């Protein structure tokens, strides 16, 4: 059975971008693949969270993973920092990653721009740690959103380099994965770029109907089409992209037609979009509270996941250490 792996950073709550870009796919495949899903708390350290925020973030993401339908008895659901083997592989892979390559990564350039006072080398080697996460379980498929494409390319590069350098076939080259469809980029409601945790443009899985509706009704629009069948400007395309994710296909077709014959009313479109987002989020939100208050259950889940993940990670690390040439006296 092929191995699938993915992770989400432990900063803040999960939003619709995380859900449609990654989590929904995790939930769908857990019956058919050997699955590893984790909470990337080591990656979160790049932005220097306070220790209590760090733990709280892990607690939140674990609860929200479970509320969204991940089954800890079907997949290995674990916390990245519980797997020390990842850090050792990270060191080995760092020897194969070149400074110039890392500096050219789009996510690194973004972070430097956003936060010039905290350009730590953890940010520079962020993709190497991500490659270690993936390669330590020899994963073949990685369900992620479009923003992670370049990181996956680096994971493939490092897998290939390691195999070539040591003349082995330890690591498969991992592929980004979305059921044969294109990777998803969920837009924000402010008309600019992707939905994110820190961009202030997100809809979160814990949010109630009232708050979601308020955000959707405030989404940026324009003054409406004047020519039939004209291309949609980005702010409007974004609303249709969201609708495509949450609504029935005939709802989308209905509003598309209204756009094309210039009779569209953005108020109606937003009302429908809000209703359909609420329908997606409500059943998840309803489970989050109960799960996040059940400390015993969360402890059990994390321990179960850790044991499964360490078993797999230590087997791979043994192969990597042998390949590199480490030997016991």
Distance CA 107, CA 54 (A): 21
* Kind and range of the H or E run holding 41: helix 41-44
**Other CB atoms within 10 Å distance of the CB of residue 77:** 26
Closest-CA residue to 9 (of 124, 113, 126, 104): 126
Region binding ligand TYM by CB under 6 A among candidate stretches 193-201, 251-259, 283-291, 294-302 = 193-201
Q: Assess 144 for contact with ligand TYM (CB under 6 A).
A: yes
Long-range contacts of 121-126 (CB under 8 A, 24+ apart): 122/45, 122/46, 123/46, 124/99, 125/90, 125/94, 125/97, 126/43, 126/46, 126/151
CB of 243 to ligand TYM, least distance (A): 15
Site size for ligand TYM, by CB under 6 A?
25
User: Residue 122: CB partners within 8 Å, gap ≥ 6?
Assistant: 45, 46, 129
Region binding ligand TYM by CB under 6 A among candidate stretches 194-202, 210-218, 297-305, 321-329 = 194-202
Region binding ligand TYM by CB under 6 A among candidate stretches 82-90, 183-191, 211-219, 234-242 = 183-191
Q: Contacting ligand TYM (CB under 6 A), which of 54, 66, 123, 195?
A: 195
CB of 221 to ligand TYM, least distance (A): 20
- On the CB side of 48, CA atoms within 13 Å amount to 6
**Residue linked to tokens 């690591």:** 171
CB of 89 to ligand TYM, least distance (A): 12
Residue 194 bears catalytic tag: yes
Q: C-alpha 14: how far from its chain's center? A: 9
* Kind and range of the H or E run holding 39: strand 34-40
**Residue linked to tokens 């609420």:** 278
Region binding ligand TYM by CB under 6 A among candidate stretches 70-78, 84-92, 137-145, 254-262 = 137-145
* CB closer to ligand TYM, 114 vs 230: 114
CB of 272 to ligand TYM, least distance (A): 21
**Per-residue binder mask for ligand TYM (CB under 6 A), 55-94, x = binder:** ----------------------------------------
* CB closer to ligand TYM, 119 vs 290: 119
Q: Contacting ligand TYM (CB under 6 A), which of 142, 189, 219, 236?
A: 142
Residue 136 DSSP label: T
- Binders of ligand TYM among residues 3 to 42 (CB under 6 A) are 5-9, 17-18, 21-22, 40
Q: How far are the Cα atoms of 124, 200, 308 from residue 104, in angstroms, in the given order?
A: 10, 27, 35
The residues that touch ligand TYM, with contacts defined as CB under 6 A, are 5-9, 17-18, 21-22, 40, 43, 130, 133-134, 142, 144-145, 147-148, 184-186, 194-196
**Positions marked catalytic:** 111, 194, 197
């Amino acid at each position: 059975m092929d191995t699938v792996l993915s992770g989400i950073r432990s900063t803040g709550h999960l939003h619709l971008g995380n859900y449609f870009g990654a989590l929904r796919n995790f939930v769908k495949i857990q019956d058919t693949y050997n699955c590893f899903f984790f909470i990337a708390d080591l990656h979160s350290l790049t932005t220097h969270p306070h220790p209590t925020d760090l733990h709280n973030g892990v607690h939140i993401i674990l609860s929200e993973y479970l509320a969204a339908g991940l089954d800890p008895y079907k997949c290995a659901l674990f916390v990245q920092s519980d797997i020390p083997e990842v850090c050792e592989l990270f060191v080995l892979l760092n020897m194969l990653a070149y400074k110039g390559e890392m500096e050219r990564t789009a996510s690194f350039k973004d972070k430097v721009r956003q936060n010039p006072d905290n350009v730590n080398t953890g940010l520079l080697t962020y993709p190497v740690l991500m490659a270690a996460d993936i390669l330590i379980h020899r994963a073949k498929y990685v369900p992620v959103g479009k923003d992670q494409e370049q990181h996956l390319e680096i994971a493939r590069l490092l897998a290939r380099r390691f195999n070539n350098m040591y003349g082995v076939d330890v690591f498969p080259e991992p592929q980004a994965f979305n059921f044969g469809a294109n990777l998803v980029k969920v837009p924000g409601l402010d008309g600019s770029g992707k939905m994110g945790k820190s961009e202030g443009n997100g809809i979160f899985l814990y949010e109630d109907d009232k708050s979601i509706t308020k955000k959707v009704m405030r989404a940026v629009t324009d003054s409406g089409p004047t020519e039939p069948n004209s291309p949609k400007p980005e702010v409007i395309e974004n609303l249709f992209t969201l609708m495509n994710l949450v609504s029935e296909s005939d709802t989308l077709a209905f509003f598309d037609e209204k756009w094309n014959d210039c009779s569209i009313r953005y108020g109606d479109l937003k009302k429908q979009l809000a209703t359909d987002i609420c329908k997606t989020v409500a059943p998840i939100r309803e489970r989050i509270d109960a799960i996040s208050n059940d400390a015993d259950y969360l402890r059990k889940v994390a321990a179960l996941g850790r044991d499964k993940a360490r078993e797999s990670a230590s087997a791979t690390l043994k192969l990597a250490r042998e390949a590199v040439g480490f030997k016991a006296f």
